């Protein structure tokens, strides 16, 4: 079974399509165990994403803002916000998501609904809430449940009912979520720089390269590169590179025709022993043991 990942372009924008032109919306059920290294890779999208944790815990990071969420919690990612999702402290992390083009909310840019109910709210890239017993939270959760039920059931006026729940949910969020819950203290330039650095690592992870080369890709100094990367990604460039190499190696381990030495070489590890050591440290098993368990 192949590990899942989000396909992206050079700007880390998702290349997946959602729904269809006449009704651009779709729902997904995800288990982070199905993703390489138990995380959804860094990406952004042109649509709105609303997700709810179903089981376990997940850690969501939008640019430099990171938050841990548990079962029942809901988070929103607005268009063009660079983000990733990884497993939290528990053994499982399952969640469900609706991804939709915001035109379903406002019709067209410049409309009254765009100006009053979308543009201002979407100025922040990220929101989240939990059901703490407040009436509006219960109401929002009910509309979210109605959304997913609407996609599962084939009924007359199905799409209209979905839009009704979506707009009622959006109204509830606009009325009750403060801007501070989604505040991210970084500029568009910083977001673009983060994408450049991540893309360099994704393109060159098989190779040997220096910190000078990584920094030069974003036209910054080595010191600034380390400081900035740590601020935005919450790990050093080399820590991220190791994580990324391990995740790519997991994809290759599903290919029976590749031996462990070939997998290590193809994912940039200097020696097989170093690859095995780091893999076992991260996954609690050797690459060979991991492969055998996957093939059962």
- Contacts (Cβ under 8 Å, ≥6 apart) of 192: none
Q: Over the stretch 87-120, which tens digit does the pLDDT of each residue have? A: 998 889 999 999 999 999 999 999 999 999 999 8
Q: Write down the pLDDT at residue 251.
A: 86
Angle at alpha carbon of residue 81, lines to 76 and 86, rounded to 5°: 65
Q: Over the stretch 5-40, which tens digit does the pLDDT of each residue have? A: 888 988 899 998 888 999 999 999 999 999 888 889
Q: Over the stretch 232-244, which tens digit does the pLDDT of each residue have? A: 998 999 999 999 9
Q: Write down the pLDDT at residue 181.
A: 59
Nearest CA-CA partner of 47 in 67, 76, 9, 69 = 76
- How many beta carbons lie within 10 A of that of residue 206, not counting itself? 13
Average pLDDT, the chain: 91
Show contacts of 161-166: CB within 8 Å, 24+ apart. Answer: 162/25, 163/104, 166/25, 166/98, 166/100, 166/104, 166/105
pTM: 0.82
CB burial class (10 A; 0-12, 13-18, 19+) of residue 92? middle
Q: How far apart are CA 120 and CA 247, in angstroms?
A: 37
Per-residue confidence band for 179, with pLDDT thresholds at 50, 70 and 90: low
Joined together, the tokens standing for residue 181 give 């819950």
- For the cut 60, the answer to whether the pLDDT of residue 2 exceeds it is no
Tell me the angle at which helices 237-252 and 222-233 cross, rounded to the nearest 10 degrees.
60
Q: Over the stretch 40-56, which tens digit does the pLDDT of each residue have? A: 999 999 999 999 999 99
The string of DSSP letters for 66-111 reads EEEEETT-EEEE-TT--EEEEE-SSS-EEEEEEEE-THHHHSSTTS
Length of the chain: 296
Q: How far apart are CA 84 and CA 82, in angstroms?
A: 7
Specify whether the CB–CB gap between 32 and 63 falls below 8 A: no
């Amino acid at each position: 079974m192949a590990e899942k990942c989000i396909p992206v372009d050079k700007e880390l924008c998702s290349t997946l399509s959602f729904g269809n032109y006449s009704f651009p919306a779709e729902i997904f059920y995800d288990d982070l165990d199905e993703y390489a290294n138990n995380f959804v890779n860094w990406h952004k999208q042109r649509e709105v994403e609303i997700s709810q944790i179903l089981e376990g815990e997940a850690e969501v990071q939008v640019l430099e803002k990171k938050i841990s969420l548990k079962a029942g919690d809901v988070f929103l990612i607005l268009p063009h916000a660079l983000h990733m999702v990884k497993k939290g402290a528990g053994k499982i992390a399952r969640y469900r998501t609706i991804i939709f083009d915001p035109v379903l909310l406002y019709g067209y840019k410049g409309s009254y609904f765009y100006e009053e109910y979308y543009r201002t709210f979407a100025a922040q890239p990220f929101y989240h809430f939990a059901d703490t017993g407040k009436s509006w939270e219960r109401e929002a959760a009910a509309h979210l449940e109605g959304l997913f039920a609407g996609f599962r059931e084939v009924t007359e006026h199905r799409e209209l009912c979905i839009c009704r729940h979506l707009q009622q949910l959006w109204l509830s969020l606009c009325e009750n979520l403060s801007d501070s819950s989604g505040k991210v203290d970084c500029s568009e330039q910083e977001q673009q720089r983060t994408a450049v650095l991540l893309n360099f690592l994704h393109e060159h992870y098989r190779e040997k390269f220096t910190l000078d080369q990584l920094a030069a890709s974003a036209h910054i100094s080595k010191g600034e590169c380390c400081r900035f990367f740590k601020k935005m990604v919450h790990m050093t460039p080399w820590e991220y590179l190791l994580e990324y190499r391990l995740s790519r190696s997991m994809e290759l381990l599903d290919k029976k025709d590749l031996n462990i030495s070939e997998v290590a070489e193809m994912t940039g590890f200097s020696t097989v022993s170093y690859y095995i050591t780091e893999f076992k440290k991260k996954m609690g098993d050797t690459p060979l043991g991991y492969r055998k368990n996957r093939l059962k």
